[in-house]
Amino acid sequence: MKKVGIIMGSDSDFPVVEKAVNTLKEYGVPTRVHVYSAHRTPAEAKSFAENARKEGYGAIICAAGMAAHLAGAIAANTTLPVIGIPIKAKALEGIDALLSTVMMPPGIPVATVGIDGAQNAALIAIEILSVSDESLAEKLQEARDKKAAAIREKDRELSEKYSID
Ligand code: RP5
């Protein structure tokens, strides 16, 4: 199976990124995690992106806050799919990172999830790998079915408890 790379701009991003790591672990996806910053360690970030395809990665998740150019910088150096997680920092509540990550000029895409949307980032990476991996496709469907069953149960409970004749 292809690997997923998770890159974050700072170890201070990890409390959010951990949800992506856990989701990939749940699905049994080989994952490598690194702190590479587009501005503090740009050489490492560039080298990772340039070598990722030949090293067996299928998707790269990039998490960064503030003027978050990490996902764009990684995408500039690979044609693998790059998924950006805008991290919520204090000053602008993550709007800064959201706009920096999502507003890529045409030609170098970054698939951007919501602010702190680490679980969805992992799920998109898994969906990408599932195109050529039937067991992942089955696991994704099972998880959806389970979620839908749980919601139906909640519907039944609330409906019984609060409906008024
Ligand atoms: C970004 O700056 C990082 O991704 C992090 O979200 C933010 C703050 O970094 P630290 O100052 O906490 O290392 O590059």
Output the CATH code of domain 3-132.
3.40.50.1970
Residue 136 has pLDDT above 90, yes or no: yes
State if residue 38 touches ligand 1 by the CB under 6 angstroms criterion: no
Q: If you measure from the C-alpha of residue 74 to the centroid of ligand 1, how many angstroms do you get, rounded to a whole number?
A: 16
State if residue 45 touches ligand 1 by the CB under 6 angstroms criterion: no
The model's pLDDT over 102-121, given as tens digits with 9 standing for 90+, comes to 999 999 999 999 999 999 99
Quick one: which H or E segment has residue 6?
strand 3-8
pLDDT of residue 108: 98
Residue 92 has pLDDT above 90, yes or no: yes
Domain ranges of the chain: 3-132, 134-165
pLDDT of residue 150: 98
Q: Which atom of ligand 1 is nearest to the CA of 40?
A: 14
pLDDT of residue 5: 98
Token readout for 161 is: 């408890």
- Taking residues 153-161, what's their average pLDDT? 98
The model's pLDDT over 56-82, given as tens digits with 9 standing for 90+, comes to 999 999 999 999 999 999 999 999 999
State if residue 13 touches ligand 1 by the CB under 6 angstroms criterion: yes
List the residue whose alpha carbon is closest to atom 1 of ligand 1.
Answer: 65
